[in-house]
Amino acid sequence: MVLLLFVALLVFLLVGFPVAFTLGGVAMVFGWIDSGASIFRFLPSRIWGVMDSPVLISVPLFVFMGVMLERSGVAEELLETMALLFGRLRGGLAMSVIVVGALLAASTGIVGATVVTMGLLSLPTMIKRGYSPELASGTIAASGTLGQIIPPSVVLVLLGSVLNVDVGSMFMGAMLPGLLLVLLYLGWVVLVALVRPSAAPAMPAEEVAAFRAQMGRRLWRAFLPPMVLILAVLGSIFVGIASPTEAAAVGAMGATLLTLARRRLTWAIVREVMTSTTYITSMVFIILVGARAFGLVFIKMGGHDAIVSMVQNVGLSPSGFLLLVMVIVFIAGFFIDFIEIIFIIVPVVAPILHTMGVDLLWFGILLSINLQTSFLTPPFGFSLFYLKGVAKDVSTAQLYRGIVPYVGLQLLTLMLVAFWPEVALWLPRVLASTP
């Protein structure tokens, strides 16, 4: 019955039914077959556990902050300033895209908005300057996914909720792996610029000279507001002044004030931001409700015990089972969305890993890195869809070739954190011990 439950779920997802209703609908049908009407007595308490979670309140607030910042024009100004700042270096434009992607990740975390914005503003310039289409498109698509690992990230909030791990600790644990990934991206661009200078040329000297005449004012205007917002949100969490939910409220208000200061806050913008926030939040929560129903039926049908028994019979060690989970998540990322992976696969395997003595904070960071690849892996990589929608001068084949090195760098980061857990656990431990 458990096997049939997963087969039915997979069939309906592949046919194209909405994820949330597929999860809930399949769960209710199989729950009725297995337990009769009694299944409906248990369901309300499971759903109420979602609605009553103070941590999940931060999801709409972080989404609001990201969408509002995207409308404020911060991304455009950052990209223009960074491009000129790095312009004289070979590969400088690509480096600027990576740095801006990291800054936007720490202030918005909205992958689609980041990829589209950088694709519209940077890709035509990079192609015009003689950049390889593969390097240009791959760098933009990969930099946009940094919002999944660099906090504040909705992925980390959802993982913390599902794994029952403190979201603030998840944010702290993701900082060093996120910075490591940024450095690896930058290292790859430097390597390409050294090996193939024609693929990553420098900008003309006269454009850079014109910028440097007013560099101080432009740097101040481009960097100060987003950096203040990042410090207000992450700093308040890390030093213990605010919970993630409270910090998300600070971020939402800060993004609104920043948009007002730039004279872009209109009723039309407010309406767009509220509509986008409502849509994204509703999608996340209805999937979560369906996933809770699915998890309830899975447990009542003995699915958890069956998997534990199978793992014990096969003789998998904790490391072996963790490796199996990571492979499954990576392959699943080719076909389904990261939210679906979080709510379908993670609740099944997390209790087993906890029983085996695996640190769930470390597991959560490994998952967040792994889930990044789902945005870049065809055929359903969302970053590829976002970028292809605005990249008229880059073919699909060039885009696919361009993301291969960055998927490799993400997997390298995953292996480094797997072999050296302290990369993820050191900062939470240090900050937790600080009075």
- Using one digit for the tens of pLDDT, what is the confidence trace for 44-97? 776 776 677 777 787 788 778 877 877 777 766 777 777 677 767 788 888 888
pLDDT tens digits, 330-339: 988 886 777 7
Going by pLDDT thresholds of 50, 70 and 90, the confidence category of residue 33 is confident
Average pLDDT, stretch 339-345?
A: 79
pLDDT tier, 367 (very low <50, low <70, confident <90, very high otherwise): very high
What tens digit of pLDDT does each residue of 164-190 get?
888 888 989 999 999 999 999 999 999
- pLDDT tens profile 122-143: 787 788 778 888 888 899 889 8
- Name residues whose C-beta falls within 8 Å of residue 215's C-beta, 6 or more positions apart in sequence: 84, 85
The predicted-structure confidence for 372-416, as pLDDT tens digits, reads as follows 888 888 766 778 777 877 677 788 788 888 899 999 999 999 999
Q: What is the pLDDT of residue 211?
A: 58
CA 251 to CA 271: how far, in whole Å? Answer: 18
Q: Look up the pTM and report it.
A: 0.78
Q: Rounded CA gap, 410 and 140, in Å?
A: 15
Question: CA torsion, points 76, 80, 81, 83, in degrees to nearest 10?
Answer: 130
Q: Find out whether 58 and 244 touch, Cβ atoms under 8 Å.
A: yes
Query: Do 138 and 405 meet the contact criterion of CB atoms below 8 Å apart?
Result: yes
Cis peptide before 379 (omega within 30 of 0): yes
Could you give the C-alpha distances from 110 to 20, 63, 105, 221, 434, in angstroms and in order? 21, 7, 7, 22, 31
Look at residue 434 and tell me whether its pLDDT is greater than 60.
no
Instruction: Output the DSSP codes for 353-416.
Output: HHHTT--HHHHHHHHHHHHHGGGTSSSS-HHHHHHHHH-TTS-HHHHHHHHHHHHHHHHHHHHH
**Is the distance from CB of 163 to CB of 343 less than 8 angstroms?**
no
